Structure 1
Amino acid sequence: MSVKHAISRGLELGRSVFQLGLLKSGFRVAAKLRVDRFRVGPSVRTAQPQAFLPSRYRFYRSSLRGLAAQLQSAGFRRRFTCGSPRNRALCLAFGLGVGLIEEQFEDDRKSAATCQEIQAVFRRKRFQSPLKMFTSGYKLEDYIIGNQIGKGSNAAVYEAAAQSASPKESDSKCSLVQLRDDDEEEGLKTRSVMCCSLRNFPLAIKMMWNLGAGSSSEAILKSMSQELVPAAAQAVKQGKEHIILDGQFGVLPRRVSAHPNVIRVYRAFTADVPLLPGAQEEYPDVLPTRLNPAGLGNNRTLFLVMKHYPYTLRQYLEVSTPDCRQGSLMVLQLLEGVDHLCRQGVAHRDLKSDNVLLEFDSGGCPRLVISDFGCCLAQRDSSLQLPFNSMWVSKGGNASLMAPEVVTAVPGCGVVIDYSKSDAWAVGAVSYEIFGKQNPFYRAVGLESSKYEEKQLPLLPSTVPAEVQSLIRLLLRRNPSKRPSARVAANMLHLSIWGRNALASQNTLDMKKLADWLLCQSAVVLLKGCCGPSGNSVEAELQRSFLSNLELEDLRTAVCFLLYGRQLQPAASILSA
């Protein structure tokens, strides 16, 4: 018999012996566990780690579950007693296998502990609004109102300033914002922003249109309660806090905490509708009869005081095209804002470029904030699920940018619309605009969210990183169960922007290396925050938001998505060629 044939016969015999021993010893192990389960007193024989064993084997002997230690102990006892060789081999192999599994669990526990420690450090550093909270401002007479800076389907927005900081007459004719592209110095374009109006009018007042809520403060607050979702703690006067707001979607909508990418309402009050500049020309039908005999509005309405932002995302993209890095940071800010809302039980339901406001940090990077919560879903139970038992239940705002699971929902008994990932889908649609393309779901392009196919989605510019393109396509998946949440999508962008070196050499998930990178990243962000104005930049805010929301499972899912997309990139490049 040749050596090769003998080895193969030996392997087959060993395999058959192992399989036979597996069944018999499996019953013995189960019986032993059952006996230990019902035993009243302590066990006579307990597995204790031995000092003379190798360190790796001592880990198996001292595993938390104890099963590996028991199995290996049984294998060694049978080594010096009458136990059969196959049973000894089975117990030892099975014990080592359980020890390996337990070691993996221990690595996961260490990674989860690292994430929790980092999260605890950065959650102590809560976001502080750049505007100082004023002690008054609960009356319309406390403000100087300037020109109109925006108008939507249910409100008009005006620039404003507190009476104590009245603007100079010489600067009263300054325009709001002017963008100018100057061709200077080797053809480089420099964007100059004329913000004299922002200096004189640092606030913005949003005047809601009251067409059917009545003229009492209680009725107005109840009807427009969704507008108070981003309100600060002292936004409503203390005398009004006892009012129970039972608006369209439940009792007292949840108020979200401050976040750099979510608008903050500093004051909310009711007052008589004034005749503001442009009212007769822009919105005559919503004025009360005392201002326009043909008007349909009520005498009083709700006013919201917020920070004055230069312009909307749509206005900015009409005159400027951000580079790829800035575009990725803008998409990331939208995902961070949506994740913050979802964590606090709020679905915006009307996310579009008109409802996103924009300013610049000290380095010229755009900072985005989500605004206009008039269509939001903010139930007390925070489930983000809306019973859809009647066609009179509102699905939300713009029908063109509704997620497929929302726009295709048909009312009926027991039907529920899940909004947990609908805003993330809208971010994917708005991302096309950020990267210089038309939104594929606007009517001019032709795709309908109710019946589009994923292969019909237009291609993004080739300059957009492949990982970002893959992420946007994932966000626009029709099936919400195959769509990443806003948190997972934000983690993917964080890792692709700042963790590219940590993942560059990885083809499999290595949580140890990732945990080391997280610790280094935490140290860098903490140093930035302690060393000057760089800690207030958009990138520093995004990194702090990422580290304050670290969760092991979300991070693991994001890494798996990235590694999976990396494996598909060569095939995609071949198809595109």
Structure 2
Amino acid sequence: MSVRHAIGRGLEYGRSFLQMGLLKIGGRVAAKLRADRLRVGHSVRTAQPQAFLPSRYRYYRTSLRGLAAQLQSASFRRRLTGGSPRNRVLCLAFGLGVGFIEEQLEDDRKSAATCQEIQAVFRRKRFQSTMKPFPSGYKLEDYIIGNQIGKGSNAVVYEAAPQCSTLKDKDSNCSLVQLREDEGEGERTRSVMCCSLRNFPLAIKMLWNFGAGSSSEEILKSMSHELVPAGPLAVELEKEHIVHDGQFGVLPKRVSAHPNVIRVYRAFTADVPLLPGAQDEYPDVLPARLNPAGLGNNRTLFLVMKNYPCTLRQYLEASTPGRRQGSLMLLQLLEGVDHLCKQGVAHRDLKSDNVLMEFDSDGCPRLVITDFGCCLAQRNASLELPFNSAWVSKGGNASLMAPEVATAVPGCGAVIDYSKADAWAVGAISYEIFGKLNPFYRGVGLESRKYEERHLPTLPPADVQLVIRLLLRRNPSKRPSARVAADMLHLSIWGGKALANRDSTGMKKLADWLLCQSAGVLLKGCRGPSGNSVEVELQRSFLSNLDLEDLRSAMGFLLYGWGQRPAHVLSV
């Protein structure tokens, strides 16, 4: 229970007695208490609980300065000295009221301590990538380039495999690479098309370079925001210092590894090669040495990442996930956004094209946020961007800009707060996950600049509908953070109806449930591969981010939602 809530409870007790017509009595009691204090001196001002009071009240002398003890002691003293019955009732009631508040505060302190202990345990268990490390890979020649697997407005992505010399264990991949080099043109194309993700475990992203020059220093500085999800060994040590003076002035600390955020394993500059399909797919961005009409520079930045089977958009075009799978997918996006926000990064271009997918051993989709070309990343982690000119970029994809971003007006002292903008975009993408058209795409109906919340389409799952409607609130101050929204889904999926009460008993049940969840996740982690499933990863993320106030907010939203009576929201 917060201090504000405790004060409110005290005011409620006082107001109830005033409404009972005891205003004059309270005045007389207050005057009498003042007289007693002046008459008996310092000893009464520091009155302690009497021996016949319950022992649990004895800590009030430090927590609430002995207020409850003084009031209750005064009540019993007046009972023995013949004070007015009404006066005794008034003092005792106020004393007990303060005592109940303190008791609930003590329960909250115990619950908060439990959350901190669980959080400490799971924060030590950092996320480990399943990719095998390779010692080199800082040159384009270290990789075998396969088919093009994606193309956007500022980059193209190809599947890739490390050369035999860069692999830690030289196995069947070597024979595959050698076979491809010896094949004829027709057979080469066929074999490339038949290669699986096992043969091409990596993906190489080649950035377009129109204005960054052809020196490695200028390229790394200009495109430094692409390195926000880079690992500690992504850039060669001798070039590491260059990227610390990037496009936004100073490159922020890079985000730590997370199962729902892409990881960049290598980043290097190289001459732009003539890759398969380049002349047809992106001739204008090629340098003049490859295309006389091209506008690109000779060198550019290359990023090496894990190769994923498809994007979220491609997956949703072919299938519609079930209710539980959809909830887990939404939850993964919220976990990824929360991880970025806590480290001072706003993605600013979340859409289904910028979310990659794979499947765990149980067939559950695992989502990964990628493409940080439009991100806002500042070392002060404020997520606030000065908007003093119309030339300041607000991010990408205007259709999925949060209302506070889309309606921002440039001016002296104007600032855009991105702390809840990505969470809003997740709410919009959720419609696609559950088989609906995204209501904010052009031609569908709504615009983020001027939509009304009552016009939002409904979704079949009532629990998810509540979370999405809260995420799509126009006013960011009334919108839950990604952490609180994620906690709502965690409680909805795994909490059960036993956590529906918010009284002190409910908080005790919540603490017991958290301990059971922790034990279960730790046991699953000891069983081997099952410990890397999507559900276990989500539970670990939840337990490593426990915060009592966030949990309380999540339970409050679940129970009261839009100010209505509690709904059946804990039923996934």
Q: TM-score when scaled to structure 2?
A: 0.87
Report the AA paired with residue 168 of structure 1: L
- Percent identity between the aligned chains? 78
Alpha-carbon offset, residue 132 of structure 1: 2.6
CA distance in 1, matches of 2:294, 2:413: 41
CA distance in 2, matches of 1:283, 1:14: 77
Partner deviation per Cα, 1:133-182 (whole Å, 9 max, x = no partner)? 322111111111111111100001111111125461668656889xxxxx
Root-mean-square deviation (CA, aligned residues, Å) is 3.0
CA distance in 1, matches of 2:303, 2:141: 14
What's the secondary structure of 2:242's corresponding residue? coil
CA distance in 2, matches of 1:141, 1:135: 14
Is 1:99 matched with 2:99?
yes
Report the AA paired with residue 144 of structure 1: I
Is 1:522 matched with 2:497?
no
Task: Look up the match of 1:537.
Answer: 533
What's the secondary structure of 2:149's corresponding residue? strand
Alpha-carbon offset, residue 214 of structure 1: 0.8
Contact 1:502–1:517 (CA under 8 A) maintained in structure 2: no
CA distance in 2, matches of 1:153, 1:12: 68
CA distance in 2, matches of 1:227, 1:35: 74
CA distance in 1, matches of 2:344, 2:38: 45
Alpha-carbon offset, residue 521 of structure 1: 1.1
Is 1:143 matched with 2:140?
no
- 1:335–1:76: structure 2 CA closer, same or farther, 3 Å change rule? same
CA distance in 1, matches of 2:89, 2:343: 54
Paired residues for 1:301-340 under 5 Å: 301-340=300-339
Contact 2:559–2:567 (CA under 8 A) maintained in structure 1: no
CA distance in 2, matches of 1:302, 1:14: 73
Task: Look up the match of 1:445.
Answer: 444
- 1:23–1:522: structure 2 CA closer, same or farther, 3 Å change rule? same
Task: Look up the match of 1:249.
Answer: 248
CA distance in 2, matches of 1:115, 1:561: 20
Report the AA paired with residue 358 of structure 2: E
Contact 1:176–1:198 (CA under 8 A) maintained in structure 2: no
Contact 2:50–2:73 (CA under 8 A) maintained in structure 1: no
CA distance in 2, matches of 1:419, 1:332: 20
What's the secondary structure of 1:199's corresponding residue? coil
CA distance in 2, matches of 1:485, 1:109: 23
Alpha-carbon offset, residue 568 of structure 1: 4.0
CA distance in 1, matches of 2:48, 2:222: 68
Task: Look up the match of 2:212.
Answer: 213
Is 1:22 matched with 2:26?
yes
Partner deviation per Cα, 1:499-541 (whole Å, 9 max, x = no partner)? 123235x376721111111111111111111123211100000
CA distance in 2, matches of 1:174, 1:526: 46
Task: Look up the match of 1:77.
Answer: 77
Is 1:550 matched with 2:546?
yes
CA distance in 1, matches of 2:311, 2:288: 32
Alpha-carbon offset, residue 213 of structure 1: 0.5
CA distance in 2, matches of 1:250, 1:500: 48
Partner deviation per Cα, 1:414-472 (whole Å, 9 max, x = no partner)? 11111011100100111111111111111131211111111221222x3xx21111111
What's the secondary structure of 1:227's corresponding residue? helix
541-550 or 469-478, which moves further after superposition? 469-478
Alpha-carbon offset, residue 50 of structure 1: 5.4
CA distance in 1, matches of 2:410, 2:562: 41
- 1:520–1:571: structure 2 CA closer, same or farther, 3 Å change rule? closer
Contact 1:166–1:200 (CA under 8 A) maintained in structure 2: no
Is 1:115 matched with 2:115?
yes
Alpha-carbon offset, residue 335 of structure 1: 0.3
Task: Look up the match of 2:558.
Answer: 562
CA distance in 2, matches of 1:96, 1:61: 15
Partner deviation per Cα, 1:83-137 (whole Å, 9 max, x = no partner)? 5544443332222111111111111111111111111111111101111332211
Task: Look up the match of 2:340.
Answer: 341
What's the secondary structure of 1:161's corresponding residue? strand
Q: Which runs of 5+ in 2 are unaligned?
A: 1-15, 165-172, 181-187
Partner deviation per Cα, 1:17-65 (whole Å, 9 max, x = no partner)? x4323234446768999999xx9xx968855555554456667678654
What's the secondary structure of 2:303's corresponding residue? strand
Task: Look up the match of 1:363.
Answer: 362
Q: How many residues align?
A: 537
Contact 1:491–1:555 (CA under 8 A) maintained in structure 2: yes
- 1:434–1:158: structure 2 CA closer, same or farther, 3 Å change rule? same
CA distance in 1, matches of 2:225, 2:39: 60
What's the secondary structure of 1:160's corresponding residue? strand
Task: Look up the match of 1:187.
Answer: none
Paired residues for 1:118-133 under 5 Å: 118-133=118-133
CA distance in 2, matches of 1:479, 1:388: 19
- 1:99–1:176: structure 2 CA closer, same or farther, 3 Å change rule? farther
